[in-house]
Structure 1
Amino acid sequence: MAPSRSGFNTSYIIGISFISALGGYLFGFDFAVIAGALPFLRPAFQLDAWWEGFLTGSLALGCIVGCLLAGNLADRYGRRPGLMLAAAIFAVSSIGMALAEGFSIFVTMRFAAGIGVGMASILSPLYIAEISPAQVRGRNVAINQLTIVIGILVTNIVNYMLAGSGPEAWRWMFGLGAVPSVLFFIGVIWLPESPRWLVKAGREAKAKAVLEKIGAEEFVSTTMRDIGRSFEGLTKQSYRDVFQKAVRPAVLVGITLAVFQQLCGINVVFNYTSTIFESVGADLDRQLFETIAIGLVNLVFTIVAMWQVDKLGRRPLMLYGSIGLSVVYLVLAYLLQNQAAAGLVSIFVLIAIALYATSLAPVTWVIISEIFPNKIRGLASSVAIVSLWAAYFVLVFTFPILAETLGTYGPFYLYAIICFLGFLFVKFKVKETKGQTLEELEHNLVRH
């Protein structure tokens, strides 16, 4: 199919972006399934607060391993083989969790699922950023966040429907993850390799052929020239190169934003919905219904973010999201502390989700996929996202313990403070990246 009048083959770009972003769907599945399954897993495995936190967080420990694997795999063998491996791991681990007969086997399989999630969390947005023209890169990378939230919503609906099938319902909840895993694997077979990786591997003709499917001749020649320049003097890269002086500011911004996206606290709302609403007297049916409401709001406002990320820019969205969450958390903590009605708590939970979905959720992934130089993008992305998953583990592991010690409301006062500090960091340290090619961003980084 030839490029359109705009100079780009829009349908082709969106098509391959959506296929790559199916990794995000599986990310959303493994992320959300625990919220519906925990009420069944607690009695099945006799979980106390510590083990509940560890079981929930074991996904993040696997994610860290997956990120470390993906960075090297992506730079050595390409983005596409890594995505295929992630899909295979998803499928096997989903079946493994469904069939697990004991706590140790279940946690091992959830850890394995995390390896797949970690690989996809790097490779899907990285791949999309590298095949997208600068004008639509923010929107296209945000497709990955869209598929994450679709995965969360669909999983929450399925969990709600399965909840009445008895104490073994959790097995079906996890086992059904094998279906989208297989579809993702089949889809990746059809994807072209990243043109930037192909140039790095010395396969310029193949890279040019991929770019010709994406855009017109001027786009192809300009992009090939810019990519070639960015790899001049390329030597084998190691994690030591990620922290060299020239790129250290970008790496520190990437790591800080990744950690902030997790420690802002919103994933407590996603993973421990049942705990939060149980604390104000909601029954199991209401708890699981709230997960669906959260998923719907998350989806709607993620679409809003996709519409605005290349118009308003990355920085304004991050600023309003972080300060907005700080205020909403203070109100939510007060409501939980004073045993407010579940309906009122629900309103502020959903406002928090809407703020997050239009700001920190998609924009963090967009910025991480943009700000690192071509030479070390795979390794640098893995460092930032390892930091993200480490922060996620800390968050979900500590919440049941803090909630048991301080009350369910207590941690939300802490998250409000973290969000305010995040607002200050974005205001003073994060620069706008919209509308610039990856090579222009790299040039500006080195220059400054």
Structure 2
Amino acid sequence: MADQERYIDEAYKILKRIDGEKKASVELDNIKETVTTEEGGIKLLFAPKMRLALIIGLVLPFISQLSGITTVMYYAPAIFEKAGFQSGSAMGGAVLIGFFNMIFTVIAIWRIDVWGRKPLLIWGFIGLSIALTFIGWLFYTNNGSELLMGGFIFYIAVFAATLGPGVWVVISEIYPTNIRGRAMSLATLSLFFGSTVVTQTYPMLRESLGIGLTFVLYGLAMLPAAYFVKRFIPETKGKTLEEIEHYWKDEKSEAVKEESKSEVLV
């Protein structure tokens, strides 16, 4: 404690020489406030009351990648060639996928405050499960390329309209302001980890299971993901930061919890 006071006195003397006495006091107060906020933020991030929020921030981005979205975007031309498209048509299909991704992302941004975050994620995971299982079945049975293209358009539309923006909206809203930056950084790390795992394992799964069963496997993974959202993630639409923080503290939050449950029609 004595050392800390000595460092503060030395810092004040340096600031005083640079900016003058009045400005030095203001600068020192700002520095103290910043340090206190950052230390409190780190402690709060790993505090027991924020444990579930931290788990959600790590799990949700990861399971969104189990939908295989990175694989589809990265391997799209090769996937379409495997489905029987010519090289030029396969590249055109990849461009079409990107186009629908953009269109439905815009729609989601426009409508997300109407639909709500939690229903958006639940129905997104369910829709992706249906789309991926359908795509896997088409590959497995060698059905027509037109149906396959339709399946991929449906798949990308569902992802872009739900998980694409929804995951990040939820994560940005479940944390108090003073830990949001660090929490979002951990969420981003989790997303890239999930993306790497799925992208690197796809070639191995394709060789061992076949492309059809690989997509079916991705589809099956979406069902426990939907349950995770339904069971653990609160609805944040229309909630203030204080209400969300009270939710995690479990102080006078029963109304928030009940409203969160009632807003999910599943």
Q: Is the 8 A contact 1:259 1:388 kept in 2?
A: yes
Distance 2:61 2:30 in 1: 32
- Kindly indicate whether residue 201 of structure 2 is the aligned counterpart of residue 398 of structure 1: yes
- Residues 262-411 of structure 1 correspond to what in structure 2 (within 5 A)? 262-411=65-214
Residue number in structure 2 paired with 1:124: none
Residues 36-435 of structure 1: matches in 2 within 5 Å?
A: 202=30, 234=37, 236-237=39-40, 241-435=44-238
Query: What amino acid does structure 1 have at the position aligned with 2:51?
Result: R
One-letter amino acid matched to 1:382: S
- Offset, 1:237: 4.9
What's the offset of the Cα at 1:387? 1.0
Give the number of equivalent residue pairs: 221
Q: 1:309 aligns to what SS in structure 2?
A: helix
Q: Give the aligned partner of residue 239 of structure 2.
A: 436
- Look up the equivalent residue of 1:352 and give its one-letter code: Y
Structure 2 residue identity aligned to 1:426: V
Task: Note if contact 1:266-1:352 (Cα within 8 Å) is conserved in structure 2.
Answer: no
SS at match of 1:247: helix
> In structure 2, how many angstroms separate the alpha carbons of the residues matched to 1:317 and 1:278?
32
Matched residue of 1:435: which SS?
coil
Q: Secondary structure at the match of 1:272?
A: helix
Structure whose residues are more often helix by fraction? 2
Shift of 1:329: 1.2
CA contact (8 A) 1:318 1:426 kept: yes
Distance in 1 (CA, whole Å) between partners of 2:79 and 2:156 is 14
Structure 1 residue identity aligned to 2:139: L
TM-score scaled to structure 2, two decimals? 0.77
Write the letter of the residue equivalent to 2:183: A
4+ residue runs over 6 A deviation: none
Write the distance in 2 (CA, Å) between the matches of 1:280 and 1:387: 31
- Structure 2: stretches of 5+ with no match in the other structure: 1-28, 254-266
User: Structure 1 residue 391: deviation in Å?
Assistant: 0.6
How far is the alpha carbon of 1:323 from its aligned partner? 0.7
Q: Which residue of structure 2 aligns with residue 60 of structure 1?
A: none
Shift in Å at residue 410 of structure 1? Answer: 2.2
**8 Å Cα contact 1:277-1:287 kept in structure 2:** yes
Q: Deviations over 1:390-416 (max 9, x none)?
A: 010000011112112222222111111
Please state how far the C-alpha of 1:271 moved relative to its aligned partner. 1.1
Long gaps (5+) in structure 1: 1-200, 204-227
- Higher Cα Rg: structure 1 or 2? 2
CA separation in 1, counterparts of 2:43 and 2:241?
A: 22
